[in-house]
Structure 1
Amino acid sequence: MRNLALMTVAAASMLAAAAPAAAQDLAASAAAVRDKALTDGTAWSIAESLTTEIGPRLVGSPAMDRAKDWAVETFKAQGFQNVKVETFTASGWFRGEESAEVVGPYPHKLHILGLGRSTSTPKGGLTAEVALFRSFDELMAQPEGALKGKIAVVTGVMTKAQDGAGYGAINAQRSRGPAEAAKRGAVAYLARSLSTDDTRLPHTGGAAPGGIPAAALSTPDADLLEHLVARGKPVRVKLDMTSRYDAKVPAYNISGEIPGTDPNAGVLIVGGHLDSWDPGTGAVDDAAGIAITTAAVKLAASQGPLKRTLRVVMWGSEEQGGSSDAYLAAHKDEVAQMVVVGESDTGAGRIWQVRLPKGSVDHPAMQAFRGAIAPLKVIVSRETPRFGGADVSGIIGAGAPFVEFDQDATRYFDLHHSADDTLDKIDPAELSQNVAVWGAFLHAAANSDIDFRALAAKP
């Protein structure tokens, strides 16, 4: 019995010594992933390839079909396995010719971009007096019928913020504006772009259909209309817009994996969205996210085989909607095996803060991750994640743990959904910093036994 007790004590001592050693090894390998990512050009090459070879990628367009093939080829070229194309049905909206001008009291050309699901004007255009509101709330205060025969104009200003909070605060101006203006009798709708720039480049985006022509104004042109209205004379605007809407077009979620050594240890899922709006080349929104997560997964596995499987998904209809629901429908039986999920969809600005699942910050694997990213000046918040991303929202709602890596969005909304969303706006060093953070996290989580669900359930 005495010998058995001694053996038990010795075994316990060996296990206690092994745990810190394993944690140290994980910290060292996570740091190695970080260092390699900071000098690796994979992410830049992927972003350059997608924006140069494919360009803008509207859902349902020939370019999106080419993007699907590009995604498959890219995964295979980067050494991913189990490459899959999952086809689903989404809606497609396609822009035609667009123009706008003030015809009285003083003539001016206006710079606009039609909003997603806008209808066309009558042939030859539409001319009407504007009813201008300085905020969406002012529009909402109007009774039904109050804007009969008018072009409703809302000029609320978006606030620039590092965390991008200004976008959510004013999003209804675009997303709900056309429908609410139509309820009040408006024949068309114009809104100041959800933008923090000062150029004459308007920013498009999706909106609930109102059955009326709807467009975004460049920010200087929104100011111009304010100045014209302030002079007290009726302001008349002519719109000429054409577009096409198709309720059913093919869309694709494309994925690739780096399999883990333990097929029962679960899967970590990250990615970005492959589709984009049409004015630019979809570089910051979201070729950057595609590039960051694909490169991060590849580099996370560069220090030897990982225990858990890593999967990158290039979601195929974020801007028009539908990819999240489609992915959940195809993978609902797999949610319990999803260790953690995350999405990169705020451009290529450096990551300044991370939010980890509840109760996980002090786990040895996350301590290894925290140590690895400390030199990158990233705050590890003790707040839990709040959103995660539009494309992962379905599987998050079904119970998958998730992370949020907050990028510096100070400049993102200068570019978002505009003709300025091009490759030259991506800083290679900042792109690599993103890869380093994601790579270190994925390596630490995939090469450990961390159970985010169990940690979150603890009191």
Structure 2
Amino acid sequence: MQERQQSKRKLLFLIVFIHLLPQCLGRPQSKNGRYRQTFEEVKREIAGYKDIAKAIIDLAVYGKAQNRSYERLALFVDTIGPRLSGSKNLDTAIKYMHNALKENGLENVHLEPVKIPHWERGEESAMMVEPRCHNLAILGLGNSIATPPEGITAEILVVTSFDELHARAPEAKGKIVVYNEPYISYGETVQYRSQGAVEAAKAGAVASLIRSIASFSINSPHTGWQYYRSDVPRIPTACISVEDAEMMARMSSKGMKIVVNLKMEAKTYPDASSFNTVGEIVGSKYPEQVVLVSGHLDSWDVGQGAMDDGGGAFISWEALSLIKNLGLRPKRTLRLVLWTGEEQGGVGANQYYQLHKVNISNFDIVMESDEGTFMPTGLAFTGSDKARSIMREVMQLLQPINVTAVYENGGGTDVDYWVQDGVPGASLLDDITKYFWFHHSNGDTMTVQDPNQMNLCAAVWTVVSYVIADMEEMLPR
């Protein structure tokens, strides 16, 4: 009996010792039972990917895969064209990509059904009829209502801000409000596009025309989504070119009476059926854990949607293609998601999040490229300080192409649902000097894209996603 008790005590001591050993060594145990590495160990692990990172860069930038993402994108946008939410073009694009991912040999290629808005602009025009006849270049804003068939003919009121509109509200009644707001940044100035109709309607305006949210213009209107409020009358709204907005502002400042006739056939239909498109490389060791790379397939109905967001979608596909080409299989699953309904506020992505958030603890990082694929400058990242330190080490692997910086505010419309719940988020950061020249306009065509820059973007996207997916431990939250 005494020997049996001594054996039990020895066994108990051994169990306690094994449990405490990692803490004694400074290596706390993670929830899933694996040991949390020290930062120095993580640094050494990441440094060990130097040769793989170089192989990825060589293949993407100089090797057989050179220009592949560009050529794939050109064929896609030239064949299908713009892909507005709810349109036949978007349906065609999704079927095209579903087949392409299968032919590329990705695993678990499938479509996940969602409902997305269906709005069509129809015929539209705006004519200045006083003090002279002048055809205004316009693009109706998404979700706008139509005018009566004969249009709306009214005097305009030009304002530069919401504050000025509120101060001159008595003058706005029965008029078309024209916003000639100065471009500061997209994030700050876009409020005039999204809320301009509501604010004008509050003051009794019959329509609103918004100076395009663009940093440069060649008489090019830029469209985008706008929002109504249930407690405010809905009025038609469209964007006009920077040049026309400034012209009317100059004329108005000289006391001229300006009258415009606006015609819009815009119509909103019931929500349409659509799909998020998914393909994977299944993880070899922790397949339930996910590194998500993404871009959105839908676009506006002007241009080709090559820049927004064809480039981002296709370098995300390219990341998995490059990894397959090199015969690599990371420890955790690399999941490509091509979103639908992004331009209406991440509608498809929100439904994906609602479906998959039950497994949120298994999402290692969510990555989205949706601000162009111009010359890459680094990675924008949102996450804990420890995770940021790890990302800095990962980015050092991109020294051969001199893209090593880590910036703030990673994420994007489609992945922010996850980031707000604590999942690390990353977005490609590139030189967007010219991005808002073409954004949401007829200028968003394949001509904007540069194959060499896309190669570099693909290399960055692939190195980051592969290394994070293959490291022994998930990013700390």
User: How high is the TM-score relative to the length of structure 2?
Assistant: 0.85
Tell me if 1:35 matches 2:58: yes
Match of 1:220 among 237, 243, 266: 243
The range that moved more, 333-342 or 245-254, is: 245-254
Structure 2: distance between partners of 1:32 and 1:366: 20
Residue 366 of structure 1 deviates from its aligned partner by 5.4
Cα distance in 2 between the residues matched to 1:379 and 1:124: 57
Pairwise CA distance, 1:208:
0.7
Other-structure match for 2:387: 360
Q: 1:155 to 1:90 in 2, by over 3 A?
A: same
CA contact under 8 A between 1:353 and 1:379: conserved in structure 2? yes
SS of aligned partner of 1:60: coil
1:69 matched to 2:95: yes
Residue of structure 1 equivalent to 2:182 = 157
* Shift, 1:22, TM fit: 5.1
AA partner of residue 207 (structure 1) = Q
The aligned amino acid for 1:222 is: A
* 2:205 paired with 1:186: yes
Q: Which residue of 2 aligns with 1:120?
A: 146
Superposed displacement of residue 342, structure 1: 1.0
1:421 to 2:440 alignment: no
Identity %: 34
For residue 401 of structure 2, the aligned residue among 376, 384, 393 is 376
Q: Which has the higher contact order (CA 8 A, sep 6+)?
A: 1
Within 1, Cα distance between the matches of 2:419 and 2:115?
21
Within a 5 Å distance, the mapping from 1:212-251 to structure 2 comes to: 212-251=235-274
Distance 2:376 2:181 in 1: 29
The worse-fitting range, judged by mean Cα deviation, of 353-362 and 167-176 is: 353-362
Deviation at 1:146, TM superposition (A): 4.6
Q: Is residue 309 of structure 2 the alignment partner of residue 282 of structure 1?
A: no
Tell me, yes or no, if the aligned pair for 2:146 and 2:264 is still in contact at 8 Å.
yes
- State the one-letter code of the partner of 1:132: V
Amino acid of the structure 1 residue aligned with 2:354: A
1: distance between equivalents of 2:226 and 2:46? 49
Instruction: Determine if the alignment matches structure 1 residue 351 to structure 2 residue 376.
Output: yes
| CA drift at 1:448 | 0.9
Amino acid at match of 2:415: V
4+ long deviations beyond 3 Å: 15-25, 140-143
Say which of 138, 143, 147 aligns to 2:172: 147
SS at match of 1:403: strand
User: Structure 2 vs 1, CA of residues 408 and 20 (structure 1 numbering), >3 Å: closer, same or farther?
Assistant: closer
Partners of 1:380 and 1:20 lie apart in 2 by 17
2:51 partner letter = A
Does the 8 Å contact 1:267/1:311 carry over to 2? Answer: yes
1:340 to 352, 361, 365: 365
Alignment partner, residue 162 of structure 1: none
Instruction: Give the corresponding residue for 1:134.
Output: 160
Q: Distance in 1 between matches of 2:108 and 2:349?
A: 20
Separation of aligned partners in 2, 1:376 and 1:432: 11
Q: What is aligned with 1:331?
A: 356
> 1:355 and 1:249 mapped to 2: Cα distance?
33
Q: Matched residue of 2:210: which SS? A: strand
Give the secondary structure class of the aligned counterpart of 1:176. helix
The aligned residue for residue 417 of structure 2 is 394
Which deviates the most, 170-179 or 225-234? Answer: 225-234
Shift of 1:168: 0.3
Q: Tell me how far 1:260 sits from its aligned partner.
A: 1.4
Q: Which amino acid aligns with 1:310?
A: L
Residues 178 and 23 (structure 1 numbering): CA distance in 2 closer, same or farther, change over 3 Å? closer
Query: In the alignment, does 2:131 pair up with 1:105?
Result: yes
Q: Tell me the residue number matched to 2:189.
A: 170
User: Does the CA contact (< 8 Å) of 1:131 and 1:152 recur in 2?
Assistant: yes
Q: Which letter does structure 2 place at the counterpart of 1:292?
A: I
Q: Secondary structure in 1 aligned to 2:155?
A: strand
Question: What amino acid is aligned across from residue 288 of structure 1 in structure 2?
Answer: G
Compute the displacement of 1:142 (Å): 4.3
- Cα 1:23–1:107 change in 2 (3 A) is closer
Matches of 1:442 and 1:124, distance apart in 2 = 54
> Mind listing any 5+ residue stretches in structure 1 that lack a counterpart?
1-7, 160-165
Q: Secondary structure at the match of 2:178?
A: strand
Please point out which of 334, 337, 348 is paired with 1:310: 334
Offset at 1:341? 0.5
Give the drift of 1:261.
Answer: 0.6
Q: CA separation in 2, counterparts of 1:79 and 1:142?
A: 61
SS at match of 1:31: helix
Whichever of the two has the greater Rg, that structure is 2
User: Structure 1 residues 22 and 287 mapped into 2: Cα distance closer, same or farther (>3 Å)?
Assistant: same
In structure 1, distance between residues paired with 2:174 and 2:457: 50
How many Å apart are 1:379 and its aligned residue? Answer: 4.4
CA-to-aligned-CA distance 1:73-99 (integer Å, 9 cap, x gap): 121122211012111112211011111
Matches of 1:284 and 1:24, distance apart in 2 = 33
Contact 1:336 1:399 in 2 (8 A): no
Matches within 5 A, 1:189-200: 189-200=208-219
Letter in 2 for 1:267: V
Aligned residue for 1:446?
469
* Residues 134 and 435 (structure 1), Cα distance of their counterparts in 2 relative to 1, 3 Å cut: same
Q: Which residue of 2 aligns with 1:320?
A: 344
1:147 is displaced (CA, Å) by 1.6
1:269 aligns to what?
292
Report the alpha carbon displacement of residue 413 of structure 1 after superposing the two structures with TM: 0.4
Residue 351 of structure 2 aligns with an amino acid whose one-letter code is A
- CA positional deviation for 1:50: 2.1
Q: Deviations over 1:62-83 (max 9, x none)?
A: 1111111012012112221101
Q: How many angstroms does 1:310 deviate by?
A: 0.5
What is the alpha-carbon distance in structure 1 between the residues aligned to residue 41 and residue 434 of structure 2?
A: 46
Deviations, residues 393-425 of structure 1 (Å, cap 9, x unaligned): 222233322113212111000000000100111
CA contact (8 A) 2:179 2:209 kept: yes
Tell me which moved more, 409-418 or 22-31.
22-31
The amino acid across from 2:422 in the alignment is: G
The AA in structure 2 aligned to 1:124 is: E
> 2: distance between equivalents of 1:20 and 1:216?
50
1:4 corresponds to: none
The offset of 1:25, in angstroms, is: 3.4
Deviation of 1:175 (Å): 0.4
**Structure 2: unaligned runs, 5 residues or longer:** 1-20, 26-36
Q: Given the alignment, which residue of 273, 282, 295 partners 2:318?
A: 295
